Amino acid sequence: MQRHRLRGFGPWGVLAIVVILAGNLLFVPLSALLVLAWAKLSGTSWSELGFVFPVRWARTLAAGLALGIALKLVMKAIVMPLLGAPPLNPAYQHLVGNTAALPVMLYLVIVGAGFGEETVFRGFLFERLGKLLPPGVWTKPAIVVLTTVFFGVIHYPEQGIPGVQQATIVGLLFGSIYAVTGRIWMLMVAHAAFDLTAVAIIYFDLEREVAEFFIARVS
């Protein structure tokens, strides 16, 4: 009975969703850890959250790394400048040449973003919305849109409108890939690689150079 309640959308099910989504307010990646605990208690299989083991791990890792790095460079050099974003991200200028700040930042981008955000926004929310929304041809596109909007909005407090714009585009792409594949490992790697590339660009003080690379060559 308890499992049924946690998987449903009555008081227990709604409470579980609220607690999970609020988890990161205490520490990162509590929300993702709560998702795993909820899966265990509710009898939800790992595959329903996208945790399907790849046939070839090397190919999955390579694809994730390539996607994440290439996507970040395209976003920084082409997409964000076209959207009018400033070349420097003011939220992370403290990272420039700051070796002491790297351990915490690497933890946040690998564990917090790569593992944490993908588990919540792709695995958990796709599963929950898939159970909540009526089945149909528009169900998955609707889930992609809803999770993308949520993913974009949560980046506003720290990064402002440019952060929302970037997260929305990335969330739309990652959500679309997850909707088609139902697998999360490659996206975790891609998400971590995306953020690690961003950290490297800032740490080595290359933001402006990368942001103006494309525009300088076409103007």
For residue range 110-137, what is the model confidence (pLDDT) as tens digits? 999 999 999 999 999 999 999 999 999 9
User: Mean pLDDT over residues 174-197, rounded?
Assistant: 98
State both tokens at 100.
């002491």
State both tokens at 148.
């993308």
Interior CA angle at 91 toward 87 and 94, to 5°? 95
The whole model's pTM is what?
Answer: 0.95
Residue 219 in this model has a pLDDT that exceeds 70: no
84 φ/ψ angles, rounded to the nearest 5 degrees:
85, 15
User: Mean pLDDT over residues 78-103, rounded?
Assistant: 95
Residue pair 7/13 in contact by the 8 Å Cβ criterion: yes
Question: What is the chain's mean pLDDT, rounded?
Answer: 95
Cβ neighbourhood burial of 170 (10 Å; 0-12, 13-18, 19+)? buried
44 — alpha (psi -120 to 50), left (phi > 0) or beta? beta
**Structural domain boundaries of the chain?**
1-44, 47-218
Nearest to 64 by CA among 204, 187, 168: 187
